[in-house]
Structure formats: structure tokens, C-alpha cells
Structure 1
Amino acid sequence: MLRLDGVWKTYRLGAFGTRELTAVRDVSMEVRAGEVVSLIGESGSGKTTIGRMVLGLASPTRGSITFDDVPVGGLRGRALRGYHRQVQGVFQDPFSTFNPVFKADRVFALVRDGFFPSVPAIKWRRRVEAALEGVRLEPADVLDKYPHQLSGGQLQRMLIARALLLDIRLLVADEIISMLDASTRIDVLNLLGDLKTKGLGVLFVTHDLALGTYISDRTVILRAGEVVESGPTDEVFARPQHEYTRNLLAAVPHLHTRWNEPVK
């Protein structure tokens, strides 16, 4: 479904673009239908840059990104809109996505205006309610509310429901639970698991090893823009081959050990 082959992304810096910053180096990976792939790395490792390129918000400097063998980087206008009917992203801070002066369900109206202008209002309302129920939200609890009246978990699930209204095949989930409390995190992760069983592919971008272990079928470890390890999640975490991966796993806190006790 989604494939990255030898992808690089270099930014030009300075007033005259005389300096270069390479954010992504020779990354190759894929996401299949009904599969969750965790892209794990520390801040500044290039995770979000990869997500933006997958969504067509940035173009690779070198290499190719294809969706069903169609190059993504060159899509424009109607072709890009068609791509976004199949591929959507949900990002880290749900509060920044919503305009506080508008009711939160305006995000659904924008989808209707952009993709389904001919759908009657009553029929669209029913579709929105069905999408909300699909992400375990009660429509009466969230519709016609302002963002400040809803929790972060409710807003995040509304954004997932917005993506599902387009009948998408791939979701780029970029740190979507890092700002949520522990119980809500599990709800959102379980929701992604349910969507996976229905055939949705998920690129799950995170810096949290535990979350990646919990949800993903395959894992890609990113360091300074480069893939240092990838494979089935169980194998990557049980038998890490790269020293960086081993160091990451060693740094994970042990809940049964106090901070001032040596880990045995």
C-alpha cells in the first residue's frame, strides 16, 4: 500500500539558503493494509518529517514515496485531494487543531464542504453521528460543543472520526496520545487496534517504546534521520540488533524498581 524507497529530506537554511540540514536519510519502509507500523525515535530524529512527506505536505529531496504504486510527491490539485480521501493524519496536540471561536464539530462541516458538498445536511448529520459512534463517542456529548468544553481524548477521537468520514485506508498518527492521560491513551490505542482489524493501515509515530510495543505489528527505529533497525515488533524488542535500540530499551523505567535502586 504505502512504500518509501531511499527517501531523503534536506532543508536549506540561512538567508540565502547556503546551509543545509538533512532531516531524513535514505529511509525505506512500508505500511500494508490492516497493519500498524510504529516509527520510533527521539525528538529531532525525523519522525514528523516522514509523516509530513507521507501526507503530501512536504516533498522528498531524493527517493520516492508511493501509495498503490502511485508517486505521492508530485500530486497536485484534484489528484492530491483524491489522495487525501484515502490518507489522513492526526497530530499531537488536538487543541491546536480546533479554532476556539467555533464549535468543535466544524471540523466535520469542513470535510463536507471540501469533499461531499452535494450530501444533504440531514444525511450528513447521520454520517457524522455514525463516525462518532465508531470512535466510541456519544454524539450528544460532543456535537454543538466548543473545544474548551471537551477533553483532549474527546477531541482526539473527533479528529479520528473526521478522518474516517473519508473512508480512509491509511492513517498517519503522529504522537496522537502523548498529551493524553494514561486511561485515555489506552482507549485511543484500543480504538486504533479495532480500526486495524477492519483493514486500516496505521503509521504510528511515537517516541515512546512502550506504546509502540503495545500496538504495532512492525517497528522502525529512527536515529538522526536514519533507520537503524526494523522488523516485526516482537523481534525488534526481544532481540535488538543495533546498539542504539539496546540503549533505548535499557533506558525504559522498570515499574518494580525504585529510581535509586540498581536495575538487576
Structure 2
Amino acid sequence: MAKPTTDQGVTTAAGSARTHAPLIELRNVTKVYGGRVLSRNATVALDDVSLTVAGDTPQIISVVGESGSGKTTLASLLMGFISPTSGTILYQGSDVASLGGARMREFRRDVQAVFQDPFSVFNPFYRVDHVLTVPIAKFRLAKSRADRHDLMVSALETVGLRADETLGRYPHQLSGGQRQRVTVARALMMRPKLIVADEPVSMVDASLRATILESLRTVNQTLKVPILYITHDLGTAYHVSDHILVMYRGTIVEAGDVESVISAPKHPYTQLLIDSIPWPDPQRPWGQERTGRGEKVTVPEDHHGCRFADRCPAVMARCVENAPPPYLTGPDHAATCFLHAEQPALPKERLSELLTVSAPKS
């Protein structure tokens, strides 16, 4: 049983209640840009998504999908950068929209981000130390200059950087991979309960990707910090993740254990993503959609069914009429597709139950 949280050494009833609540919860969250949900000019970036991150299980969950699938919007909502159009986002049982003062600082400390662009994080007029010293001062992480230096050195060493080769330099004097690892070190200093890594290797050379991903994996395994890894790259998602969420046009279409989802995808969209991975054989065709056992169905633009219906090789009439619920296709695998309607239906709120492991992937 977890110990109640304390405030200045005094256990509070509210703190005790927060101890038993998940770290982050999205409850039926929708995010619309450019107008209301039914407006012609509206873009529904996230549509009725529910997700729970317990925060006490050291796992890596990948969120994958093509551009426009809602991955970054999901990350921004989790970090409190934007507000939902509808639905609720909870931090330890409290609505993020109502947080203020000490509770908001606690939230900002517990949920840390590693961004896509390792260049824009740094001010070129400041040494890289600035990225590390500002949060130390803001969150009062050190009592003296010596403590501050030791904290920075420890964080840098955790991600494979030497302090004497990093501190005191300007951003242009470091490689893209080094800059990205400094941002990981910055997040680590906060002792977060969750790291949200949004495309952290998409803007660095291929030779550096393994190094950065290994740094994240080391953080996950040694410090027991869960990581939400946002990516469009199924290859890296497979190698670093314990579990995976596949998104398409703002909805979760498949979720489960990464081995199960990648080796035996159940949703036609996930199958399309996997088939689009180029093979090291020029004679082997790739990037072609599978032929399915679908029906001859006219898919109107304004239908209210499955969002993948207009691209799906297995589309059926019911796919256009109604949106499918998630179906449990295995012990820890679900797909939002009528092809599996003979399997038990799973409420969206329970999808997160598939994203729990007893130990990190080795």
C-alpha cells in the first residue's frame, strides 16, 4: 500500500486521496481546432479519447500513427499545454484546469517533456547550463551552488554525457544528439513521475537515434520513470516499447502489448502501417494496401462511422453507419474494428488496462 503524500511533513486527507488516484487521466477528451465539433471548418484532432497513466509502473508506451493522427495533440493535453474542447483531464484525481499555485508546480514537475526539436529548446545567447539551472532555481532543487553542480553532473552522466565536455558550452558547440540528451537530463533533474517524449529522435541523424533512445531506456529502467513515446516510426516504437497505442485521425484504433500488436496486427490501419515499412529487398514490393474481404460500399464524406472506412480494404456497410467500439482480440490486445465483432466489446475507458506490465521489457 502506497504511503500518503505529505505537505511540509503533515499528511493531509487530500494528499492521501491523491495517492490512490492515477497520475494522469483523460476522460472522454475531445480537442477541436477552428470551430465547434460540427462546424465545417472544424478539425477534430482528438475524438472522445480516454487514457489512464498510472504513474507507478516503469513502462514505455508508444503512441504511433501518421501525421495528423492526433499524437502531438494527445501529448500537449497530457502536459497541460492546451485545454480540451470537451472531457476532463485529471492529475492525481484533480482537474488540471482548476490547478493553481503549489499544485500546478507539482504537476509541472511530475510531468516532464522531451520535445522533437533539439535546437529550439536552447537560446543561442546562453550557455547550455542555462537550460539546467533555470528549473533548479524555479523548483528549488538545490540548496547551494555545490548541490546545483552535483545535480547537473549526475543528470548529464545518466544520459551518457560528460559534464566537463558539456557545461560552459554554447548550443552551437554541441551536436544535435548532445543537445537532445541535455533536454533529457533536464527532465531527469525534476525526478518526474512521467516523461512525455514527442518525436525525440526525428530531427537527429540516424547514427544518434540509438544513443538517445538508449538514454531514455536507461532512464526508464534505472530510475523507474514511465515514458510516453510519441512517434511515427514503428521500428523504434517496437524496439523501445512495452506497449503501443495506434492512432488514426484522432481515435485509438489498436492497443496492447507491442509484440502482439506488431507481430499480429488486428486493425487494417495497423496492418497498412506495418506493410509500409520498406524491406531490405528491392524485389519485394512494399507500401501497398492489403486486399480484404470487404463489401462494395459507398462511403459518403459526412458519414458517422469508422474514420478509416474510406481507406479500408475490408470495409462493410456497418462501418459507415456506426463507429466500432474496441474489441478484445487477446488477453492484452484490442482493436477498434468490426472485423472482430465476435470478440467481447471493451469500453474505451478500459483500454488502459491493457497497458500494464509487471516489469520493463528487457
Q: Do Structure 1 and Structure 2 share a fold, with TM-score over 0.5?
A: yes
RMSD over aligned Cα atoms: 1.9
Whether contact under 8 Å (1:91, 1:176) holds in the other structure is yes
Shift of 1:189: 1.2
Between structures 1 and 2, the one with greater strand share? 1
Distance 1:118 1:212 in 2: 35
Shift of 1:162: 0.7
**Residues 202-235 of structure 1: CA distance to partner in whole angstroms, max 9, x if unpaired?**
0100000101101111110111111111111111
Distance 2:263 2:141 in 1: 50
Shift of 1:123: 1.5
Distance 1:37 1:118 in 2: 31
Whether contact under 8 Å (2:125, 2:170) holds in the other structure is yes
The residue that corresponds to 1:31 in the other structure is 53
The residue that corresponds to 1:97 in the other structure is 121
TM-score (norm 1): 0.92
Whether 1:150 and 2:174 are equivalent positions in the alignment is yes
Give, as a single letter, the amino acid of the residue that structure 2 aligns with 1:4.
L
TM-score (norm 2): 0.68
The residue that corresponds to 1:9 in the other structure is 31
Gaps of 5+ in 1: none
Give, as a single letter, the amino acid of the residue that structure 1 aligns with 2:26.
L
Distance 1:114 1:88 in 2: 14
The residue that corresponds to 2:338 in the other structure is none
Distance 1:122 1:159 in 2: 21
Task: Write out aligned runs for 1:112-123 (5 A).
Answer: 112-116=136-140, 119-123=143-147
Whether contact under 8 Å (1:156, 1:176) holds in the other structure is yes
Change (3 A) 1:118 1:169: closer
Shift of 1:179: 1.2
Paired residues in the alignment total 259
Out of 141, 149, 152, which is 1:125 matched to?
149
Distance 1:36 1:199 in 2: 10
Task: Write out aligned runs for 1:78-93 (5 A).
Answer: 78-93=102-117
Out of 261, 266, 271, which is 1:236 matched to?
261
The residue that corresponds to 2:158 in the other structure is 134
Task: Write out aligned runs for 1:80-229 (5 A).
Answer: 80-116=104-140, 119-197=143-221, 198-229=223-254
The residue that corresponds to 1:42 in the other structure is 66
Q: Which has the higher contact order (CA 8 A, sep 6+)?
A: 1
Whether contact under 8 Å (2:113, 2:187) holds in the other structure is yes
Q: Is the partner of 1:157 in helix, strand or coil?
A: helix
Whether 1:262 and 2:289 are equivalent positions in the alignment is no
Gaps of 5+ in 2: 1-22, 287-362
Whether 1:252 and 2:281 are equivalent positions in the alignment is no
Whether contact under 8 Å (2:141, 2:148) holds in the other structure is no
Give, as a single letter, the amino acid of the residue that structure 2 aligns with 1:238.
S
